[in-house]
Structure 1
Amino acid sequence: MEFTQDQKLYAEIVQKAWEDKSFKDELMTNPIAAIERLTGKKINLPPGKKMVVRDQTDESTVYINIPARVDFDNMELNEEQLEAVAGGKSPIKDFLLFICPTISV
């Protein structure tokens, strides 16, 4: 499975946070500025959105992230998504494997 640019960026941010405590501290207090400084690119969140970063490195704790609800009934697929569905790919399976590579789906 090839990773998207967003997935690669996410991995880069996590790796940097693991290795650099000052980056991790800034990421938690001011995520937009920390990511912009790391990437050299401006981040524009949609109006009304905010970015929240939580430290989930405590290995004795299992964390569950509850994402926003998606209205699948009114969602339209773009061309790439239609191709993936037609080809038998499962975006949900790919997503689950990305967030938890050890999961069995």
Structure 2
Amino acid sequence: MEQNKEEEVLRLVISKAWEDVNFRKNLVSDPVKAIENLTGAKIVLPEGKTLIVNDQTDKSKVYVNIPSEPNIEDIELTEDQLEIIAGGGQTVWPDLVNSLFPALKNYIVI
């Protein structure tokens, strides 16, 4: 499988952050500058957007990121999800949770 340039940059940034504590600190404090200095890639964020990098390397903690609420107008469901909804079955919420928080389910006991 061929990876694109953006994936290569992301892999390089993550690898560098894992191995270089100083780079990781710079990445958290000024992510755009740190990424541009490391890769030479230009980071162009949409107007009004800010890039936030959180250091989640502490293995003694479980991290959960709360994503922004999706715009219902933009959500595209799979055929299986549409069939479930059309048939009055379960919601697609479990699929969404599993895709957003795959590791979290290992820590939930009901």
> What TM-score, normalized by structure 1, do the two folds share?
0.64
Q: Which residue of 1 is the match for residue 74 of structure 2? A: 75
- Find the aligned partners of 1:4 and 1:67 in 2 and give their Cα distance: 25
Shift of residue 6 of structure 1?
A: 3.7
- Find the aligned partners of 1:55 and 1:100 in 2 and give their Cα distance: 18
Q: Which residue of 1 is the match for residue 32 of structure 2? A: 32
**For residue 33 of structure 1, what is the amino acid of its counterpart?**
K
Output aligned runs, 1:1-105, within 5 Å.
5-72=5-72, 74-75=73-74, 96=99, 100=102
**How big is the alpha-carbon RMSD for the aligned residues of Structure 1 and Structure 2?**
3.4
Gaps of 5+ in 2: 80-94, 106-110
- Find the aligned partners of 1:42 and 1:24 in 2 and give their Cα distance: 19
Identity percentage over the alignment?
40
Q: How many residues align?
A: 88
Structure showing greater radius of gyration is 2
**For residue 50 of structure 2, what is the amino acid of its counterpart?**
K
- Find the aligned partners of 1:68 and 1:5 in 2 and give their Cα distance: 26
**For residue 41 of structure 1, what is the amino acid of its counterpart?**
A
Gaps of 5+ in 1: 78-84, 87-91
- Cα distance change, pair 3–100 in 1 and its aligned pair in 2 (3 A): farther
> What TM-score, normalized by structure 2, do the two folds share?
0.61
Q: Which has the higher contact order (CA 8 A, sep 6+)?
A: 2
